[in-house]
Structure formats: structure tokens, C-alpha cells
Amino acid sequence: MPEVFNALPGIEVPVGSISKSLAQIWTDPSTPGESSAAGDDVKATQLNLVLHLGFATTPDDGCTQFQTALRFAHRYPCRVVVLCPLSHDGGVTELRAKVYGECFLGKSKGDTRCVEFVALSYPVSARRYLENQVSVCLSTDLPLYYWAHRFSLSSRLADYQYLLRTSKRVIFDTAIVPGDALTHPWPRPELVRDLASARLLPVRQSMGQFLAGVPPARLVEGLFSVNIAYVGRLAAEAHALQRWLSSRLVECGASTDLRFLVKEETTGTGMRLSVTFGYSGANRFQWRGDFEAGQACFETRFGADPIHFPTAISLLSPEAALGEALFY
């Protein structure tokens, strides 16, 4: 993981002078980086975000998540603390730190906002000091959110009790974390959010609005199965869609024994999802979405006439999905 820390933007500073170095970014024009002089009146920080890069994170992946957090901060100015644990410390016993700052325009020309990053690299032997160091790096009196990226063991992540208990939200992506991540006994499971589910917001909105026009009793009449198929890297999204449909259909009166099947289509290319409701009567519902083409289609029958309804579809961008998972 030192390669990940080294690849991240910013300037390395002594751990004991992080606060001083952050202040210097906005006052010393000779400091390297993208920042410019900024007073406290434009550093309208709204929240703290801890981005925890797991052992499986590569330098390119780490930089990608850094940029996602930066784009997110353009909408929600924040202090971001990036944790870079060392899987093999090679005898390293001390923490290392980097700071980075950037200003950007808000909704108007005179609306300037700034974001601050602190990156911390630490060996396992220094793990017991981490919570104290993180607390020093955070902006005081602001809510804390925790984003755990690409961790390899849920039980190992559970060791970070300070972050898991103090944060208003704990988020991860079920596409790249262990299979037990959603069922692990986290200290506050009600605060856990899945980025795969967040990315599906446009799908959930489109499907929910369409099905809202069908009386609940008719929607579940004769319904015995729901089949979800995916093509491409959409397994996590398919399972997230299954969980959402299950909860919504049960609220409409469907049996809790309703059979769900999530499967990968072995033919075809691209990024596609489809949902088919199995009915014992004349009702029919099928939705198909092609995310590369940006097109979806409803094929339904809940009355005398069948309906064919094409529509646009997409997944949320990484930064928009981050906001959806954190705040909703």
C-alpha cells in the first residue's frame, strides 16, 4: 500500500503538523498543488468523509476513488481523510501524511468553495493510534461519514469501531467487497448503505413510477416468481434490485415466499439488466434495460390492452451514487 499513498495527489508533511500544513495551503502561494489562497469564509465545509482504501486497492484504483471524492466535494464541500493501511509494513512503524487542497466555483461566479484532503499511511503496528490521529484531522462539530473501499474481510474492517460507531453512514460497494458484507453484524447495521443500490436510483425511480400506476392488489394477483437477469459487470446491481423489489412487492401484498431468481445471461455483450414477473393469470410485466445504449423498455399487461413503453435509462455516476448512499 505505500504505492497507493505515494500515487495520491498532495504534498507529504510531518504527521504532527497536519493542521498547520492545511492552513499553509491557503496562505502560501508557493505551496505545490491546485489550491489558491482562501480564507475561512470560503472554506464552507459541510461534512467529514473518511475514505478507507482496503489492502486490495491498487494505485490506479486509489487515485480513481480520490477523484470521485473530489468531484463529490464540488457539490458537498468537505474535509476528506484517506486511510492507506500497509498490508506489509516492511519494518515501517510510523505514520505518514499528505495534505491537498483545491478551490472551485460554486453556483455563481462569486461562490468559491474549497475542499481539503488528508491522506494517512499507517502500518498495522500503528493501528492503535489511528483513531486519535483521524479525530485530529477531522473538522470539529461536523457530521462524519465512512466509506470503506475494497476491503477483503468484514471481520477485519469491524476492528475500526470508532468509525463504524461514530459515522452517520457506513458505505461500501457490494460489487467489490466480501459476500457477507451486508449480513455482517456491524455495530449499527441500520446505517449501512450499498453503492450498488445507490447506482440503481434511476432504475428504481423509473420502475417505481411505472408500477405505481397499477393497483397493488392487481400487481401481486397471481404473482409467483420474479426473475432478474444480467449481462456484464452488474451482478451486485442485480442483487440490489432483487432486494428492493422484494421489499416493495411484499408491501403491496405479495407473499413473503415469493420466489426470486437472479442469474447471469451467458449470451450477449454489454451491460444489461432485465426483470420478468411470473404470473399464473393474464398479467404480464417485463422490463429490459441496456445501459450502454441508455435505453429501456416496459412490456406489460395489467388489463385489456398490452403496453409497450420505451424510456431512457442510466446508472448514477460514482460521485452521484456516493451522495445518494451518504444522504438518503
The chain-wide mean pLDDT, for the chain, equals 91
- Tell me the pLDDT tens digit for each residue of 53-91: 999 999 999 999 999 999 999 889 899 999 999 987 777
Tally of structural domains, the chain: 2
Q: Within a 10 A sphere around the Cβ of 222, how many other Cβ atoms? A: 12
Question: 157 lies in a domain?
Answer: yes
Question: What's 56's DSSP letter?
Answer: T
Average pLDDT, integer, range 20-47: 64
Angle at 34 between CA 64 and CA 326, to 5 degrees: 45
For 283-307, the pLDDT digits (tens) are: 999 999 999 999 999 999 998 789 9
Contacts of 145 by beta carbon, 8 Å cutoff, 6+ apart: 47, 48, 49, 50, 167, 168, 169, 171, 326
Length of the chain: 328
Determine the Cα–Cα distance for residues 187 and 93; give it in Å rounded to an integer: 29
Rounded-to-integer distance, Cα 85 and Cα 319, Å: 23
Nearest partner of 74 among 39, 111, 119, judged by Cα: 111
Q: Given this model, what pLDDT does residue 124 score?
A: 84
Q: Are residues 254 and 301 in the same domain?
A: yes
Phi-psi region of 302 (alpha: psi -120 to 50; beta: other; left: phi over 0): alpha
Which residue among 187, 220, 240 closes a domain? Answer: 187
Reported as type and span, the H/E element at residue 216 is helix 216-220
- Three cell numbers at 171? 458505505
Quote the pLDDT of residue 36: 47
Identify any residues that bridge with 120 across adjacent strands, giving them in sequence order: 83, 97
C-alpha 130: how far from its chain's center? 23
pLDDT (0 to 100) of residue 91: 72
Give CA angle at 83 (78, 87), nearest 5°. 165
Query: Based on the domain organization, do 176 and 27 belong to the same domain?
Result: yes
264 pLDDT above the threshold of 80: yes
Q: Which residues contact 6 (CB under 8 A, 6 or more apart)?
A: 59
Q: Answer left, alpha or beta for residue 94, where phi above 0 means left and psi between -120 and 50 means alpha.
A: beta
Over residues 199-208, mean pLDDT: 97
In tens, the pLDDT along 43-52 reads: 567 899 999 9
In a shared domain, residues 67 and 22: yes
In tens, the pLDDT along 176-198 reads 999 999 999 999 999 999 999 99
Say which CATH number the domain at 260 has.
3.30.360
Distance CA 295, CA 206 (A): 12
Based on the fold, state whether residues 34 and 177 are members of the same structural domain: yes
Residues 49 and 117 in one domain: yes
User: What is the pLDDT at residue 25?
Assistant: 81
Indicate whether 192 belongs to any domain: no
Q: How far is CA 212 from the centre of its chain?
A: 27
**Mean pLDDT of the 136-147 span:** 93
Instruction: Say if strands 169-172 and 223-231 run parallel, antiparallel, or are unpaired.
Output: unpaired
Q: What is the mean pLDDT of residues 11-16?
A: 93
Residues 127 and 263 in one domain: no
What is the pLDDT, as a whole number, of residue 1?
A: 53
Q: How far is CA 189 from the centre of its chain?
A: 16
Asked if pLDDT for residue 135 goes beyond 50, the answer is yes
* Structural domain ending residue among the three candidates 133, 154, 187: 187
What is the SS3 assignment for 84? strand
Would 328 be classed as within a structural domain?
no
Instruction: Give residues with Cβ within 8 angstroms of 299, minimum separation 6.
Output: 284, 285, 286, 287, 288, 306, 307, 308
- Does residue 256 fall inside a structural domain? yes
Specify whether 235 is located in the same domain as 136.
Answer: no
23 band by pLDDT with thresholds 50, 70 and 90 = confident
- At residue 35 the predicted structure's pLDDT band, cuts being 50, 70 and 90, is very low
Residue 286 domain-assigned? yes
Q: What is the pLDDT of residue 33?
A: 47
Q: By residue range, what is the domain housing residue 137?
A: 2-187
Q: Are residues 10 and 155 in the same domain?
A: yes
Closest CA to 114 of 9, 38, 29: 38
Strands 223-231 and 272-279, how do they pair? antiparallel
Same domain assignment for residues 17 and 158: yes
C-alpha atoms less than 13 angstroms from C-alpha of 30 in its C-beta half-sphere: 0
Does some domain include residue 161? Answer: yes
Domain end call among 131, 160, 187:
187
**Across the strands, what pairs with 149?**
53
- Is the residue at 52 inside a domain? yes
Residue 196 lies in a domain: no
Same domain, 279 and 175: no
In this structure, the answer to whether residues 169 and 214 fall within a common structural domain is no
Q: Are residues 178 and 219 in the same domain?
A: no
